[in-house]
């Protein structure tokens, strides 16, 4: 009888441990989804549209706090109470293609602003905007340029309410509001807060779906630490 009792106790103990392990992993997953959906997410820069501020291969931590809350791995999200400020970098869903990769640009025009581009500079409500972060002169989109059926913006341009005019810092290599118009506030999901990793690798590695190339880039960084831009790590915005 004693042996049977001991075996039964052991069996119950193992079952409890399994249930506790499952419960613990459930809470870990729940907290991950909560943080990922409401507090912060990771992003990587795949193009040079924000050079010199952000480089291809910069890995960012994005803060969603106050800007947006969403269900991870889905397109469902809701805007919150915070609004971006002028010249702040924001991460948003492309207004012309919400299912495509999120974009990173800088807010230039606020709701109600009159934005004009001439003499290689940005003019806001009749005054030149000082922009020490840009690379190259600021010019309107080429006349008649209409990728994906979208007509380039005519200037001067009045930014609609609840909308933001956004441009990349690398003005000669940025597909931005000059081409497809303003960013509606509900499309803005957060702002970059820190670079946690930066790798000098082929830009193809950071394009969506390029898992093999990305793994090779990380592996190359382990073998050749010189490809890590150490001076950019933990840089905050």
Active site members: 49, 105
Cis peptide before 50 (omega within 30 of 0): no
Q: Answer yes or no: are the C-beta atoms of 102 and 89 closer than 8 Å.
A: no
Residue 78 structure tokens: 């809701």
Question: What distance in Å separates the CA atoms of residue 223 and residue 5, rounded to the nearest whole number?
Answer: 56
Residue with tokens 């790590």: 233
Task: Give the CA angle between residues 105, 167, 67 to the nearest 5°.
Answer: 40
33, HSE (Cβ side, Cα atoms, 13 Å): 10
Question: What distance in Å separates the CA atoms of residue 70 and residue 78, rounded to the nearest whole number?
Answer: 6
Task: Give the CA angle between residues 206, 210, 215 to the nearest 5°.
Answer: 80
Question: What distance in Å separates the CA atoms of residue 176 and residue 212, rounded to the nearest whole number?
Answer: 29
């Amino acid at each position: 009888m004693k042996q049977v009792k001991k075996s039964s106790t052991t069996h119950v103990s193992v079952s409890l441990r399994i249930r506790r392990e499952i419960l613990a992993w459930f809470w870990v997953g729940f907290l991950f989804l909560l943080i990922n959906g409401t507090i912060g997410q990771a992003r990587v820069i795949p193009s040079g549209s924000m050079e010199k501020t952000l480089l291809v291969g910069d890995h960012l931590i994005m803060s969603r706090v106050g800007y947006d809350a969403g269900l991870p791995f889905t397109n469902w999200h809701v805007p919150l109470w915070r609004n971006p400020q002028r010249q702040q970098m924001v991460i948003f869903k492309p207004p012309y293609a919400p299912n495509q990769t999120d974009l990173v640009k800088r807010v230039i025009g606020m709701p109600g602003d009159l934005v004009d581009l001439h003499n290689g500079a940005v003019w806001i409500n009749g005054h030149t905007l000082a922009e020490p972060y840009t690379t190259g002169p600021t010019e309107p989109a080429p006349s008649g340029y209409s990728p994906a059926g979208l007509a380039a913006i005519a200037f001067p341009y009045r930014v609609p309410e609840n909308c933001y005019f956004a441009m990349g810092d690398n003005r000669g290599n940025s597909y931005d509001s000059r081409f497809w118009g303003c960013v509606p506030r509900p499309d803005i999901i957060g702002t970059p807060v820190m670079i946690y990793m930066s790798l000098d690798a082929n830009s193809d590695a950071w394009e969506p779906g390029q898992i093999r190339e990305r793994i090779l880039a990380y592996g190359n960084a382990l073998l050749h630490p010189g490809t890590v831009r150490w001076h950019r790590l933990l840089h905050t915005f």
